[in-house]
Amino acid sequence: MRARLMVRGRASAPRIGIFEEATHRVVDIPRCAVHHPLVNEVAAAAREAIRATGTRPYADRPHAGALRAIQVVVERPTQTAQVVLVGRGDDPAPLAPLADALAARLGPRLHSLWWNGNPARTNVILGPLWRRWSGPEAVRERIGGADVFFPPGAFGQSHLDLADRLVERVQAQVPNGARLLELYAGCGPIGLGLLARVRRIVFVESAPDAVRGLRLGLAARPAGESGRAEVVAAEAGTAAARIADFDVVVADPPRKGLDPPLLEALAASPPPLFVYAACDLDRFEAQAARLLGGGRLRLASLAAADLFPNTEHVETLARFEAR
């Protein structure tokens, strides 16, 4: 449902696709069988628009050209595309003609159109600068019984249909009336749908775009539910001292895993239930050993989820219970 496509080549012959493994050479994929068809449609329209406007694709070595990448997110209910044009500079003006040409070609298939500025020499795809040219401020998805909002700078799973099942499994482990601490909460795909049946949720998230999406999701909930939520815009490790105040802790960290202060706090003084969704198996194994090594937790269940079909990557969902 989402893709980040690199743009290289020449204005007359742009290459739009993904990096060849271990290189910065872009493999052009005009009809990718894995991407959503609308992602391919956006890519095809972008090729035409780049040629028509003479927009220069990015070149790595000289750090030149106007267009570095294109991010496409497909909103499932409307089957429209949130499109981000990632530019090399700090001004959206050089990409404005391309934006107009692309919008004209996509028409009603376009959800929203954004400029992102990434002027640094870096492997990071998105930069710190944003402007919305048109459309809503976030993609809206129904996940885990709640509307979840994804601004273009916020993390979202590439395959939401598969991620939905993981969210359901996490939610099923949270008992009614629980006091819940959700760490690395993102835009709230796990916790927002639990507000109707828990006593309290504290969402901890550090990324500003994700926090903005989370607040949009809370604003869409009934007043009686949103009043049970607290948003802490901070690194997850800052919540280590609060773990004892909760019945359940849920964590869905990035590949680096749990922040060290959090890992130590969970091992030393765990809550009755800790649910850990891990996206890096090696890091999970090391951190699970530390959690179990403290002698205060036991591993009650373990499951693997294939969120990236045709790859070696798996998500691991672990349930730890206090002894």
Q: Which residue has the tokens 């989820």?
A: 305
Q: What pLDDT score was predicted for residue 103?
A: 98
Q: What pLDDT score was predicted for residue 311?
A: 75
Q: What are phi and psi of 311, to 5 degrees?
A: -130, 170
pTM of the prediction? 0.94
C-beta of residue 4 within 8 angstroms of C-beta of residue 16: no
Q: Which residue has the tokens 């290289």?
A: 8
Q: What pLDDT score was predicted for residue 5?
A: 97
Write the Ramachandran bin of 243: left for phi over 0, alpha for psi from -120 to 50, otherwise beta: alpha
Q: What pLDDT score was predicted for residue 21?
A: 85
Q: What pLDDT score was predicted for residue 115?
A: 98
C-beta of residue 275 within 8 angstroms of C-beta of residue 297: no
Q: What are phi and psi of 219, to 5 degrees?
A: -65, -25
C-beta of residue 209 within 8 angstroms of C-beta of residue 220: no
What is the mean pLDDT, run by run of 10 residues, along the chain of 323 residues?
94 94 87 92 98 97 96 97 97 98 98 98 95 98 96 90 89 97 97 96 98 97 91 96 95 94 95 95 94 95 82 87 95
Q: Which two tokens stand for residue 148?
A: 């979840």
Q: What pLDDT score was predicted for residue 31?
A: 87
Domains identified in the chain and CATH numbers? 2-136 (2.40.50.1070), 141-322 (3.40.50.150)
What is the 3 state secondary structure string of 4-69? EEEEEEECCEEEEEEECCCCCCEEECCCCCCCCHHHHHHHHHHHHHHHHHCCCECECCCCECCEEE
Q: Which two tokens stand for residue 201?
A: 């949720």
